[in-house]
Amino acid sequence: MSKVVEISPTTRHEGHSKLVLKVNDEGIIERGDWISITPVRGLEKLCIGKTMHQAPKISSRVCGICPIAHTLAGIGAMEASIGCEIPQDAYLLRLILQCANKLHSIALHDILALPDMYIPGTETKINPFTAEEPVRTVAKRIQRLREIGQTIGEIAGGEPVHPSNPRVGGMYYNISPQAKQKLFDLAKEALPMAIAQMDFMNAVFKNFEKRETVTVGKTTVDMPKEFGYHNQGYMAVDSIFQSSSLDFDPKWDPNRWTDVTPWDWYMGECEVSLEDPDYPIGGTSKIGTKAWPQMQACTSIPLYDGQPVEVGPRARMVTFKNFDHKGAMGQNIAREMEYPDCLYTIIDALDALDCNGSVLADEIPQGDGSLGWNANEAPRGTDVHLAKVKDGRVQMYNLLVPTTWNFPTCSRALEGAPWQLAEVIVRAYDPCVSCATHMLVVDENKKIIAQKLVQ
Amino acid sequence: MDMLGKYKTCVAARSTSSEILKSSQDGGIVTQMFIYALEEGIIDGAIVAGPGDEPWKPKPMVATTPEEILAARGTRYNISPNMAVIKESVRKYGLDKVGIVGTPCQMQALRKAQLYPVGMRYVTDKIALAMGIFCMENFSYQSMKQIVEDHCNVDLHSLKKTDIGKGKYWAYTNRGAVSQIPLKVTHKYEQPGCHVCLDYVANMGDISTGSVGSPDGWSTVFVRSTNGDNIWKKAVEAGVFEVKAIDSVKPGLDLVTKLATEKITKNQKELEHRAKMGVNKGLRNPYI
């Protein structure tokens, strides 16, 4: 007899979401739905009619952890629609900004992921707030890595949170030779720290994966062999940066993408029949609580070739580097492996950057309403923005954000795990729920939602 | 009210560099201080009022070389929004130790940003040296143009220096002519926002300087903060300034106090007037 347990809200990730889980008598998940319950802000709708310069600055405010992804993808989509090629030095500054943001984001996720993990070889869980070693050194290293990431982003992008420097047609300014030297020094400082951090984190994740049992609150559960495995595909457009419809050989295809409503993908109405008041901290939802993932989910379900796909660091590693570590820990390990890449790319880009180069296209067309898209490899995966610009105004704007792609995929990956570990799987996706929940379904799907609402 | 603000020492001083004094407004204090601080690594760049697109129109700029600092010498009697580039200085220019020069209101803006950094992330801990300059009032560019070209009858392109002193507005040309008009005729051109200002000698600067109180070619200098004091002492020790006690020069602090009192009393009255501007209503008072 399967029971339903609900973890609401989930913690240690960005935004507001919950887990509705159907479990068997052993507490193993038979079917899990991980859904966003962040209120829809509807920026795709409100951007219509605004200028192409304003819309990406609005979409930046979707998320404060990865605003760079939304700014760059948004601006890239506008540039793709109007057919504007940006100068090389503007491209390099954007690349530096992108990598700086990824550096800070990975480090931030380390803090969120660590409390699930054990100090290798011990039964002690890691508390990043403790003043005791070895955790203190690690926490300090994470702080410094984030500080460096944000400082590099601040100089190359104008602001580390909601970058002000990028604009349609390039950048507002180039940086001075002095600033370039500062970035170079910071990247050099961060590189050995990032490698040490990567090694530490990967040791911790591999140790977790090999464990027989894991304790959550007062419960000890068996660690499944295939923890967080799923059979969905992967999608990535670049190992570091982006692809756009302006490219000679675009790596993403809008024709392979479709969108469905949560109605077609999630569970129907159900009632919570299992409760654990000891689930840390504050327990799970009360028995008798009604849950209705189909109706409560605040995202749409984007599909690629008719299926949900996984995006993110592992998808990039699988697509471009033949990475083959599956499961939740594989996901985490792939993320850590991106640390050095970020810094090597920053250093290379700084070498190539000409501080006297122009950073603004000579001509910025106003657009004729054709469709353009830009897919940015955000820290959490492929962030595709599609736009139509005519006479400088946005006619259509659509965001397909990494965590939106991952929501249904991750829901499938929950199967086979003890429900107490569901959040560990979710965290492996480094979810950014406010990123995911930015949308209104604006085409014919909207009618479907309306119909279901009436029923 | 304390008319001259808090300060540790007050002296009359001028730069020992004849190169700087060649076209400085008074004693070349700000230029000399920034060049010294730049060379000593106390700052790695300074926000100054550099040359603008039109003659005698200042443009705030981030100077990172002595040449750029020298180019900003001389008073331009119209608005230069120096605080506008403060973020740029730590972003685009990547500065860690910022010097900034400004009028009393700009020093206030700077200190407010340091205490209440709204939209001023990563800026406020990087302010290394704030140089305040005395300011009675300011003009818009159009006002200055009107005063110099119409009232003084001097073309802005041939203007070499302007000065306000001894109750007159002075215009000196490159070819040696001098014209002067009574300050009374300039009053209507003043920037209205200056009429509620209660600060004459840049009370919020690390170091404040101006012409009033010292002889021509010299400046009156207030050393205010601990930071300012340390830098000033080092600079004097290094011999970049010639210093006299303020009570050994004419007209001395008495005149400074007198002018400061005049400015503050007058503008206090304006504030009180604005509070009762309408019938049963008034205009906003930013000080309350």
What's the pLDDT score for residue A298? Answer: 83
Q: Is A377 domain-assigned? A: yes
Is B92's CB within 8 Å of A155's CB? Answer: yes
What's the pLDDT score for residue A42? Answer: 84
Q: Report the residue of A152, A162, A175, A178 to disrupt the B interface, i.e. the one with the largest count of B CBs within 10 Å.
A: A178
Is the CATH number of domain B139-189 3.10.450.750? yes
A325 is in an annotated binding site: no
pLDDT at A447 over 70: no
Please, which residues bridge with residue A235 across strands? Answer: none
A44 is in an annotated binding site: yes
User: What's the pLDDT tens digit per position in B85-96?
Assistant: 999 999 999 999
Please choose, from the candidates A6, A7, A22, the residue with its C-alpha nearest in 3D space to the C-alpha of residue A417. A22
pLDDT at A394 over 50: yes
What pairing do the DSSP bridges indicate for beta strands A381-390 and A393-400?
antiparallel
What's the pLDDT score for residue A445? Answer: 42
Q: Which bin fits A258, alpha (ψ -120 to 50), beta or left (φ > 0)?
A: beta
Q: Which two tokens stand for residue A181?
A: 């030297």
* Radius of gyration, alpha carbons of chain A: 22
* Placement of tokens 């004419």 in the chain: B250
What's the pLDDT score for residue A451? Answer: 36
CA–CA separation, A402 and B109 (whole Å): 42
What's the pLDDT score for residue A443? Answer: 41
Is residue A72 a contact partner of residue A242, using CB atoms and an 8 Å limit? yes
Q: Is A422 domain-assigned? A: no
Three-class secondary structure of residue A291 per DSSP: strand
What's the pLDDT score for residue A261? Answer: 82
Please choose, from the candidates B151, B262, B170, B257, the residue with its C-alpha nearest in 3D space to the C-alpha of residue B216. B170
CA–CA separation, A114 and A201 (whole Å): 8
Question: Mean pLDDT, to the nearest integer, of B95-100?
Answer: 97
Which positions in chain B touch A176 (Cβ < 8 Å)?
64, 92-94
Pick B91's closest partner by Cβ from A155, A161, A180: A155
Q: Report the residue of A154, A167, A171 to disrupt the B interface, i.e. the one with the largest count of B CBs within 10 Å.
A: A154
What's the pLDDT score for residue A39? Answer: 82
**Burial class of residue A353, CB neighbours in 10 A (0-12, 13-18, 19+):** buried
Of the pLDDT bands very low, low, confident and very high (cuts 50, 70, 90), residue A316 is very high
Q: Please give, rounded to a whole number of angstroms, the shortest distance from the CA of B96 to a CA of chain A.
A: 9
pLDDT at A449 over 60: no
> Which CATH number fits the domain that encloses residue A116?
1.10.645.10
Is B94's CB within 8 Å of A158's CB? Answer: no
Q: Report the residue of A97, A155, A165, A353 to disrupt the B interface, i.e. the one with the largest count of B CBs within 10 Å.
A: A155
Amino acid type, B238: A
Count of CB atoms within 10 A of residue B220's CB?
A: 28
Is residue B5 a contact partner of residue B203, using CB atoms and an 8 Å limit? yes
A435 is in an annotated binding site: yes
CA–CA separation, A114 and A135 (whole Å): 10
Of the pLDDT bands very low, low, confident and very high (cuts 50, 70, 90), residue A435 is confident
> Taking the domains of chain B in order of start, what are their residue ranges?
9-135+196-275, 139-189
% of chain A surpassing 90 pLDDT: 85
Is residue A370 a contact partner of residue A388, using CB atoms and an 8 Å limit? yes
Question: Mean pLDDT, to the nearest integer, of A62-68?
Answer: 93
Q: Please give, rounded to a whole number of angstroms, the shortest distance from the CA of A351 to a CA of chain B.
A: 17
Is A178's CB within 8 Å of B122's CB? Answer: no
Q: Is A184 domain-assigned? A: yes
Query: Which residues of B have a CB under 8 Å from any CB of A?
Result: 44-45, 64, 87-88, 90-96, 121-122
Question: Mean pLDDT, to the nearest integer, of B260-280?
Answer: 96
What's the pLDDT score for residue A438? Answer: 61
Of the pLDDT bands very low, low, confident and very high (cuts 50, 70, 90), residue A295 is confident
Rounded to the nearest integer, the mean pLDDT of chain A is 92
User: What's the pLDDT tens digit per position in B235-265?
Assistant: 999 999 999 999 999 899 999 999 999 999 9
Which positions in chain A touch B94 (Cβ < 8 Å)?
155, 175-176, 178-183
Is B94's CB within 8 Å of A175's CB? Answer: yes
Question: Mean pLDDT, to the nearest integer, of A304-309?
Answer: 92
Question: What domain range includes position A346?
Answer: 55-258+299-405
What's the pLDDT score for residue A263? Answer: 83
Is residue A242 a contact partner of residue A86, using CB atoms and an 8 Å limit? no
* Radius of gyration, alpha carbons of chain B: 19
User: What's the pLDDT tens digit per position in B181-216?
Assistant: 999 999 999 999 999 999 999 999 999 999 999 999
pLDDT at A450 over 60: no
Pick A176's closest partner by Cβ from B87, B92, B122: B92
Question: Mean pLDDT, to the nearest integer, of A230-253?
Answer: 94
Instruction: Quote the pTM value.
Output: 0.94
The DSSP secondary-structure symbol of B198 reads -
pLDDT at A211 over 70: yes
Say if A159 is an interface residue toward chain B (CB within 8 Å): yes
Is residue A298 a contact partner of residue A38, using CB atoms and an 8 Å limit? yes
* Placement of tokens 């319950």 in the chain: A37
User: What's the pLDDT tens digit per position in A107-163?
Assistant: 999 999 999 999 999 999 999 999 998 899 999 999 999 999 999 999 999 999 999
pLDDT at A259 over 80: yes
Which residues have C-beta within 8 Å of that of residue B147, sequence separation ≥ 6? B77, B139, B169, B181, B185, B186, B189
pLDDT at A444 over 90: no
Instruction: Output the CA torsion sign for A228, A231, A235, A238.
Output: positive
Count of CB atoms within 10 A of residue B287's CB?
A: 8
Is B64's CB within 8 Å of A178's CB? Answer: yes
